Amino acid sequence: MTDRVFLFDVDNTLFDNDRLQADLSDHLARTYGPATRDRYWAIFEQLRSELGYADYLGALERYRLEDLHDPRLLLMASWFADYPFADRLYPGALEAVRHAQTGGEAAILSDGDAVFQPLKIAGAVLRALFADRVLIYIHKEQELADVERWRPARRYVMIDDKLRLLAEIKKIWGDRVATVWVKQGHYATDPAQTASLPRADFEIDAIADFLAFDLSDPTTLRHSSA
């Protein structure tokens, strides 16, 4: 058991997932037309409500079942495979992870599917940076016992853009976890997603601001603005 583990979310915390979705929308509209783009996202949202996580490839496969006679759809696999994931990391994301590694162990704690999310993490050079310390669940806030099994620690620091998840994790782990809300992406900037939720222990405007934390004492977390 280590003294402290820093758990990093991926989408809109380290990786600009909103930008990926915008790029995908543009590509679908240009290549297949606005109707295909809109239908893909409708299937995507329907699938997310069924599964509880974003499944880009699953949405593509379900769309393909509706239009089996359009061979152009098969080219979408190449678009996903060739996407420049590393270019979509937020400024300072890699430095923030390296900074965390000076104060304890660092790991990824993400939600997502079992194929595209690992490919995204590897393509963004995050799997290598975290030395394969990657945990991906459907609802990570419900899997904290398994997180403790794989990454046992006396204390945790959870860094995430979703205030709701931070509140749920804080409710379960209590004083064992320090929560850091990174106010990036559409979840963090949508008042409907944050209204009436308890505040995180720390709030930063961008992941690069994590570099201002003093990590010298494994029993506490301090920010230079405090």
Hey, what domains does the chain have and what are their CATH numbers?
A: 2-16+89-223 (3.40.50.1000), 17-85 (1.10.286.50)
Measured at the alpha carbon of residue 198, what is the angle toward residues 12 and 137, in degrees to the nearest 5? 45
CA–CA dist 137, 118 (Å, integer): 11
Mean pLDDT computed over 1-23: 96
Q: Which residues pair with 15 in a beta bridge?
A: 11, 89
Give this prediction's pTM.
0.94
Among 32-36, 66-70, 175-179, 214-218, the minimum mean pLDDT is found in 66-70
Give the per-residue pLDDT at 226: 57
Work out the percent of the chain whose per-residue pLDDT is above 90: 78
The arithmetic mean of pLDDT across residues 205-212, rounded, is 97
Instruction: Look up residue 130 and give its amino acid.
Output: F
What is the rounded CA–CA span in Å between residue 67 and residue 134? Answer: 36
- For 86-90, what is the mean pLDDT? 98
Q: How confident is the model at residue 35 (pLDDT cuts 50, 70, 90)?
A: very high
The pLDDT of 124-147, averaged and rounded, is 97
Assess whether pLDDT exceeds 80 at residue 206: yes
Q: What's the pLDDT tens digit per position in 162-185?
A: 999 999 999 999 999 999 999 999
Q: To the nearest whole number, what is the mean pLDDT of the chain?
A: 93
Give the per-residue pLDDT at 210.
Answer: 97
- Structure confidence at residue 71 as a pLDDT band (50, 70, 90): confident
pLDDT at 195: 82
How much of the chain exceeds pLDDT 70, in percent? 98
Predicted confidence (pLDDT) at residue 215 exceeds the cutoff of 60 = yes
